[in-house]
Amino acid sequence: MWRLSVAPMMGWTDRHCRYFHRLLTRHTLLYTEMVTTGALIHGNAAQHLFFNEEEHPVALQLGGSEPADLAVCAKLGQERGYDEINLNCGCPSERVLRGAFGACLMGEAELVRDGVKAMVDVVDIPVTVKHRIGIDKVESYDFVRDFVGTVAEGGCKVFLVHARNAWLKGLSPKENREIPPLRYELAYRLKNDFPDLTISVNGGITTDEQIATHLEHLDGAMIGREAYHNPWLMSGWDAKFYGDHARPVMKREAVELAMIEYMERAHAEDGVNWYSIASHMLGLRHGLHGARKWRQVWSDHRLKPLPPREVWAMAQAHVGHRDAEVATDAPVSTH
């Protein structure tokens, strides 16, 4: 299940984004944005946990540190129908530091172990952990090895390793995704030291070639920003990495039309505005002629009062003729 996955990304991987991604890949595991235990226990749990049935396999990522609260929320996630519960031990922002969850939990491996055990005890679906390779300037492999070993004692068998340190002070979340160096070799060492655990790597992965290289050493690869900004990359994954050649790849035009239908359905069912959905598919024509003007139409705030099919017709005026020349639907060369 963890061979390929799309990373949980705050502000991006909501249910509309996941529905879009599922049109491109049937088998890739999709993750929610992080949902805090406090939001589920004290807020509108039904709203936070809602997802489209088409999204399976889909995992719920929780943010929290209190074992009892994690257990309650994991059970809610299983009851709602999620395929996995994931604990966030990788987010480096100061907001989550104040909330005692995210990457700072890597310094409290026993607490994470206890939280994992509390969840494992109340659900039948996998409980997994997403984490960094270290925090701040602690760059010793022993640190992440001991963290994984301790947490595994609680019943976690799957670790999603963002192969950068998290600097809890001095860097923004964006800088934390770019400045600490990537050290994939530490994820590889974890697999060697814990051969019975499932280890997937995350961070800086942008091509199928990189994915294939990681899969030579590990059980899985998790792709983040590249999947969001260049989603067409996912269209070949079912065949390349899952051996599923039976399901034909949808053309970009068919994907876009399917999203129009989804926009209409979401508005009818929940009153969702089309532009909050369209923002997630702006990378669909990445690299093709007319893509910039096509994006401009879909992101033009002046068009918000129009129904999505009218906006789609306007966007189509900027594509099609030259795109049709690209028979393979591959990006046009810029040489």
DSSP string, 168-179: SSSS-HHHHTTS
Q: Is the pLDDT of residue 204 over 80?
A: yes
pLDDT at 322 over 50: no
- Average pLDDT, stretch 209-223? 98
Of the chain, the percentage scoring pLDDT greater than 90 comes to: 84
Residues that are catalytic: 91
Phi, psi values for residue 83, rounded to 5°: -90, -10
Tell me the average pLDDT of the chain. Answer: 92
Would you state the pLDDT for residue 97?
Answer: 54
Global pTM reads: 0.92
Among left, alpha and beta (phi > 0; psi -120 to 50; other), residue 203 is left
Q: Any idea what the Cα angle at residue 75 is, between residues 6 and 135, rounded to 5°?
A: 50
Asked whether the beta carbons of 84 and 119 are under 8 A apart, the reply is no
pLDDT at 255: 97
The helix/strand/coil state of 201 is strand
User: Can you tell me whether residue 305 is helix, strand or coil?
Assistant: coil
Q: Which pLDDT does position 132 carry in this prediction?
A: 97
* Percent share of the chain, pLDDT over 70: 93
Contact call for residues 317 and 309 (beta carbons, < 8 A): no
Q: What is the average per-residue pLDDT within 46-62?
A: 97
Question: Mean pLDDT, to the nearest integer, of 34-57?
Answer: 96
For the record, the structure tokens of 211 come out as 């994915």
246-279: pLDDT as tens digits:
888 899 999 999 999 999 999 999 999 999 999 9
92-127: per-residue pLDDT in tens? 866 555 557 899 999 999 999 999 999 999 999 999
- Contacts of the segment 244-252: beta carbons below 8 A, 24+ positions apart: 244/26, 244/27, 247/26, 249/329, 250/23, 250/24, 251/329, 252/284, 252/285, 252/288, 252/323, 252/329
Which residues face 6 on adjacent strands?
30, 223
pLDDT of 174 reads 80
16 vs 142: CA distance, rounded Å: 40
